[in-house]
Amino acid sequence: MSPLRFTAETSSNGVLERDFIVGEVPGVLWSPVSGSDHAPLVLMGHGGGLHKKTPALKARARDAVTTWGFTVVAIDAPGHGDRPRAAEDERARAEFRQAHATGDAERFEAVSVRYATSLAERAVPEWQATLDALQNLPEIGVEAPIGYGGGISLGTAIGVPLTAIEPRITAAIFGGGFFVYEALVEAARRITVPIQFLLPWDDEYVDRESTLGLFDAFASREKTLHANPGDHRTIRWIGVDNEFLARHLGRVGTSPA
Amino acid sequence: MSPLRFTAETSSNGVLERDFIVGEVPGVLWSPVSGSDHAPLVLMGHGGGLHKKTPALKARARDAVTTWGFTVVAIDAPGHGDRPRAAEDERARAEFRQAHATGDAERFEAVSVRYATSLAERAVPEWQATLDALQNLPEIGVEAPIGYGGGISLGTAIGVPLTAIEPRITAAIFGGGFFVYEALVEAARRITVPIQFLLPWDDEYVDRESTLGLFDAFASREKTLHANPGDHRTIRWIGVDNEFLARHLGRVGTSPA
């Protein structure tokens, strides 16, 4: 098993931010400066083409630390952020550009699905290795409850197959904003933990019905869909239950910091 | 204009419950025993075959009074609760029984739509007359912000056309659980106030797509859909934004009682 090695550390406004590496995967861990004794651990995924410290992700992570005392972890997806691009990543990017330039919607969808499938296949074992290494840290251990904190698009394409095979994840936030494919729906059918699902109501590219089909597929007895107008880039999330992870990871009743 | 006449009064646990009548329409007003100086007024609709003091409605009303200091009003729909049934109501009930007994789904939908349309046509002016009379009460006046508090099924079939023509209503909670028809979708297209929409994900009778079409139709810039598993009788509403009306009627920041 690859150990976790911390490579940088900063702190501001009560939040400790530590860069780390596990094997060849760079990640970042946010936690309260005051310590985090087996606090719930939330896994956050970034969108396609983005990286582990994308401003929106970072803001959500810091908020989860300061409001609930969570520990939050993000890693760069294969070929994203600080990671080198394999030949496959370069090819996929070139294909995206071409499909977009020619306005070929069918090809755009085919390229998206093929690339998301490949990224998820590579990212799932990386997340599992990261979890193994994090559980070796004394402040996390095997005691920390674990939730998947989203987000939409690539974060869901990776998070759904991860949650389907990873019993350590006991609650998850997923969402739309990307092309849903059959393997993902199959994985969703094997998921029984509580799910919060965020649907951008007006996505420019993605057929709404296919995303509703993904929500439908989760075998979870408790699952809630929240939809707001907008596409996955412009959407403002209003009226979403912000206590979802805290409730399921055992932090409701904790007084917000 | 018919004045409002109070006919009975009780109080318990800090909530004053006053029965009233406006013209021939009986209603009930819940408010804080401690007084309600121009507090937000919430209109609640009951489901088909039910009445203004149905336990679930009463519990939500009392909760809104004690949590937010709202005033809540409910009235019996035509032919419901304490009201006499017109020939039309008796005929609709007989038709329902027959369609249900013969398992004729198409006829069941046709009867439902015809009856909901008739109830809404009669109930909308009754709600407006009730509002007029309530605004003559000094503790409500024209200053109290007004919201429509749901609920699903018949409450929405009446609430949507009411909100479409009633500028006094500035935020509304609607939902699914009944057959959506074109006149309702037309009315929704004229609504621009913030909407919270509750969708029972697994209704036994109602096509999910038609209910999503109703949500889609609202012209509101701010609208949020919440879906949970279950039909409109068995559903447990988890993760729904309970502050929606308080936020839009100006009560967030008010310390819950």
Q: Mind listing the pLDDT tens digit for each residue in A145-202?
A: 999 997 778 999 999 999 999 999 999 999 998 899 999 999 999 999 999 999 999 8
Query: Mean pLDDT across the stretch A75-90?
Result: 94
Query: Mean pLDDT across the stretch B149-172?
Result: 93
pLDDT of A97? 87
- Beta-strand ranges (E) seen in B25-157 are 25-32, 41-44, 71-75, 146-148
For residue A227, the chain B residues in CB contact (below 8 A) are 215, 224-225, 227
pLDDT of A234? 76
Shortest Cα distance from B186 to chain A (angstroms)? 19
Distance, in Å, from the CA atom of B142 to the CA atom of B168, rounded to the nearest integer, reads 9
Contact B197, B224 (CB under 8 A): yes
Q: Cβ of A226 and B222 within 8 Å?
A: no
Three-class DSSP labels, A138-195? CCCCCCCCEEECCCCCHHHHHHHHHHHHCCCEEEEEEECCCCCCHHHHHHHCCCCCCE
The CATH number, out of the four listed (3.40.50.1820, 3.40.50.1950, 3.65.10.10, 1.10.10.10), of the domain defined by the range A4-83+123-248: 3.40.50.1820
Q: Give per-residue pLDDT as tens, A31-46.
A: 999 988 899 999 999 9
User: Euclidean distance between the first and final Cα of chain B, in Å?
Assistant: 36
Q: Cβ of A241 and B244 within 8 Å?
A: no
pLDDT of A257? 43
Whether A251 has a pLDDT exceeding 80, the answer reads no
Contact B44, B58 (CB under 8 A): no
For residue A88, give both structure tokens: 């496959």
Contact A233, B227 (CB under 8 A): no
Identify the CA nearest to B146 among candidates B126, B132, B161, B157.
Answer: B132
| 3 state SS of A41 | strand
Query: Mean pLDDT across the stretch A12-23?
Result: 97
For residue A252, what pLDDT band results from cuts at 50, 70 and 90?
Answer: low
Distance, in Å, from the CA atom of B200 to the CA atom of B142, rounded to the nearest integer, reads 35
Q: Which percentage of chain B shows pLDDT scores above 70?
A: 98
The CATH number, out of the four listed (3.20.20.140, 3.30.470.30, 3.40.50.150, 3.40.50.1820), of the domain defined by the range B4-83+121-248: 3.40.50.1820
Neighbours of A5 (CB within 10 A): 11
Contact A150, A57 (CB under 8 A): no
Distance, in Å, from the CA atom of B83 to the CA atom of B80, rounded to the nearest integer, reads 6
- Taking the CA atoms of residue A90, residue A96, residue A101 and residue A102 in that order, the dihedral angle to the nearest 10 degrees is 120
Query: Mean pLDDT across the stretch A200-209?
Result: 86
- Please state the ipTM of this predicted complex: 0.79
Query: Mean pLDDT across the stretch A238-253?
Result: 84
Sign of CA dihedral B120, B125, B126, B132: positive
pLDDT of A254? 54
Q: Cβ of A229 and B221 within 8 Å?
A: yes
Residues in chain A whose beta carbon is closer than 8 A to a beta carbon of chain B?
A: 196, 199, 201, 208, 212, 215-216, 221-229, 238-241, 244
> From the list B212, B222, B225, which residue is nearest A226 (CB)?
B225
Distance, in Å, from the CA atom of B102 to the CA atom of B97, rounded to the nearest integer, reads 9
Query: Mean pLDDT across the stretch B198-225?
Result: 92
Whether B251 has a pLDDT exceeding 90, the answer reads no
> From the list B224, B238, B239, which residue is nearest A238 (CB)?
B224
pLDDT of A206? 84
Sequence-ordered list of residues with C-beta below 8 angstroms from that of A256, at least 6 positions apart, any chain: A66, A67, A68
Query: Mean pLDDT across the stretch B58-76?
Result: 95
Mean pLDDT of chain A: 92
Q: Cβ of A229 and B223 within 8 Å?
A: yes
What φ, ψ does residue B17 adopt, rounded to 5°?
A: -120, 115
Whether B57 has a pLDDT exceeding 50, the answer reads yes
Size of interface A-B (CB pairs under 8 A): 55
pLDDT of B257? 43
Whether A103 has a pLDDT exceeding 90, the answer reads no
Mean pLDDT of chain B: 92
pLDDT of B254? 54
Query: Mean pLDDT across the stretch B223-236?
Result: 86
How buried is B140 (Cβ within 10 angstroms: 0-12 exposed, 13-18 middle, 19+ buried)?
buried
For residue A187, give both structure tokens: 């994985």
Amino acid identity of residue A190, one-letter, is: R
Which residue did the predictor score with more confidence, B37 or B235?
B37
Q: Compare all CA atoms of chain B with the CA of A219 and give the residue at the minimum distance.
A: B229
Please tell me what DSSP assigns to residue A102.
H
Listed in sequence order, the DSSP H helices in A15-104 are: 55-68, 87-102
Give the position of tokens 């349309």.
B117
pLDDT of B253? 56
Whether A253 has a pLDDT exceeding 80, the answer reads no
pLDDT of A233? 75
pLDDT of A239? 79
Shortest Cα distance from A226 to chain B (angstroms)? 5
